[in-house]
Structure formats: C-alpha cells, structure tokens
Amino acid sequence: MHEWALAEAVALALSRYAKQAGIGRLKRLVLGLGELQAVDREVFELALGESLKLHGLEVESYELVTEEALFECRACGFSWGLGDLALSDEVREAIHFLPEAAYAYVRCPRCGSPDFSVARGRGIRILGVVH
Ligand SMILES: [Zn+2]
C-alpha cells in the first residue's frame, strides 16, 4: 500500500519540521498530490491521520490539492501538461496509473523528441504549513 508509505514520509518530514520549530501542532497544512501519482485519497487521508498520531503531531486542518503534471523537453526546453496532449482515455488512464508509461506515449509537442523529464506531477509535496 504506497498510500501508507507516502503518508509516513509526509508525517516524518512534518515531525522533523515541528521539532525544529519547537511546536507540537499545526493550524493548517496544504499538500500537493501529483496528477501522475495514483493515490486513493480516502486511504491516504486515513494513513496520514494515523501517521501524524504516531509522530505525536496534531494538525487542525489540511487540504489536499492536485498538482497538474508538467513535462519538460530536454531537446528544446518546451514544457507542457498532460491536458495539452491528444491522448486516448485509455492511454491517459495508463499514465495516471503508471507514470513510467508516459515515456512510451508522450512526445514533445513542439519538436517531437521523446527525451523529456517529468518536472512536476509525481509524488506528494508539502506546499504550505501554518502554525
Ligand atoms: Zn522539444
């Protein structure tokens, strides 16, 4: 269950941050969930609650926002999102489920190069903390 691994990673990073800041609770937390990361939100939220508890950290409210994927061409520097591509639903689904599949289907819309990097849209990021 990678939701639990992700939640644990977030809780660990937050507890380190809280320790450094000398606080035991956060008023607000904003997490960015990559569009390419297939995560069951319900499972993730459950896992996050448990992980935070294990780390003795209290979070009053949090928000989970979706971060759109961003690809960057290594050949010409052009960047684009998943929505800019004419992909079938089937392929789109495959890419959401397995980001590595992007390399089989995605080409730079400007120069056609298959050599690109995923600049954003994978994993989970802590976007903001209020305490
Ligand atoms: Zn290009």
Output the CA–CA distances (angstroms, integers) from residue 113 to 31, 60, 62, 78, in the order listed. Answer: 32, 46, 39, 10
- The residue type at 55: H
Predicted confidence (pLDDT) per residue in 26-73, tens digit: 999 999 999 888 788 999 999 999 999 999 999 999 999 999 999 999
For residue 74, the CA-to-ligand 1 centroid distance in Å is 7
What mean pLDDT do residues 15-24 have?
A: 92
Q: Which residue has the tokens 């660990």?
A: 12
For residue 99, the CA-to-ligand 1 centroid distance in Å is 19
For residue 55, the CA-to-ligand 1 centroid distance in Å is 44
Q: Which residue has the tokens 């409210």?
A: 61
Query: Where along the chain do the CATH 3.30.2320.50 domains lie?
Result: 2-68+120-130
- How is domain 2-68+120-130 classified at the CATH fold level? hypothetical protein PF0899 fold (3.30.2320)
For residue 84, the CA-to-ligand 1 centroid distance in Å is 14
For residue 105, the CA-to-ligand 1 centroid distance in Å is 15
* H/E segment holding residue 33: strand 25-34
- Of the pLDDT bands very low, low, confident and very high (cuts 50, 70, 90), residue 117 is very high
Establish how many alpha carbons lie within 13 A of residue 22's alpha carbon, considering only the half-sphere containing its beta carbon.
Answer: 0
Q: Say if residue 2's pLDDT is above 90.
A: no
Q: Which residue has the tokens 């508890």?
A: 53
Predicted confidence (pLDDT) per residue in 74-88, tens digit: 999 999 998 888 889
Q: Which residue has the tokens 């400007």?
A: 110
For residue 56, the CA-to-ligand 1 centroid distance in Å is 47
User: What pLDDT was estimated at residue 99?
Assistant: 80
